[in-house]
Amino acid sequence: MSADAPFAEATSDTGELSRWRRFRLAIVTPQAIYGTLLVSAIIGTAHYDESDLDVLITAVGTVLAFWIAHVFAESIAHYGTPKSIGLPMTDSFKHSLRTAAGLLYAAIVPCLFLLLGALGIMDESAAYQVSLWLPVFLLGALGWFAFADRGSVWWVRLLGSLVTGFLGVIVIILKITVH
C-alpha cells in the first residue's frame, strides 16, 4: 500500500481489516478523545505546589468517576434502543464497557509519567510537563490518522494534525479556565 492510500482500505486478501485498522478503530473513539482532553485539563488545573502523586491521585480518581458515569449512562441508553430489544441488560453493560474504555486508555500514558515523577524515577517537574503536553501531541496524531483514513496527502495530514493539536490546546485551556 502506498503512503497516500487510505487506512480505511487496509484489508487482507480475505477482506478482513488489517491489524492496524482494527487497533485504530478500537483505540480512536470519541471517548478516547474526550478522555485525553479530560486528563489534560485535570493535570493542567494542578496547583504549582502539588506533588506528582497528588496530581496522579486526582487524575485517576476523576477519570474513574467519569468512566463509571459513562458506563452507567451508556448502559441505560443502549438498553433502551430498538436494536437491543430482547437483549439482556448484561449485553448493554458489556457494550458500554467496550465503548467507555477509551476514557481509561487516554489516561494511561499521562498518568504513567506522573507515576514516574512521584516515584522519583523522573524529575517531578519534567514528568508533569510531559504528562500535560503529551496528550496534545496525541491529539495531533489523531488528526494525522483521521486525515490518513480519508486518503489525504502528507501535507494535508500534517495540517490536520497541527489544527487538531491546536484545537486540543484551546479546549484544554477552556476546561482549565472553567474549573
Q: Is the pLDDT of residue 127 over 50?
A: yes
Mean pLDDT of the residues in the chain:
85
- What's the pLDDT score for residue 20? 77
| Residue carrying the nine cell digits 467507555 | 100
Q: How far apart are CA 62 and CA 65, in angstroms?
A: 5
| Amino acid at position 159, single letter | L
2 pLDDT more than 90: no
Helices (H), 9-122: 19-27, 30-44, 52-79, 89-118
What was the pLDDT predicted at 12? 52
- For residue 175, what pLDDT is reported? 75
Q: How many CB atoms lie within 10 A of CB 121?
A: 10
* Residue 5 pLDDT level (bands cut at 50, 70, 90): very low
Question: Is residue 113 predicted with pLDDT exceeding 90?
Answer: yes
Of 59-68, 71-80, 88-97, the range with the highest mean pLDDT is 59-68
Percent of the chain residues past pLDDT 90, beyond the cut = 40
Cα–Cα distance, 54 to 177 (Å, whole number): 20
State the average pLDDT over residues 29-42. 89
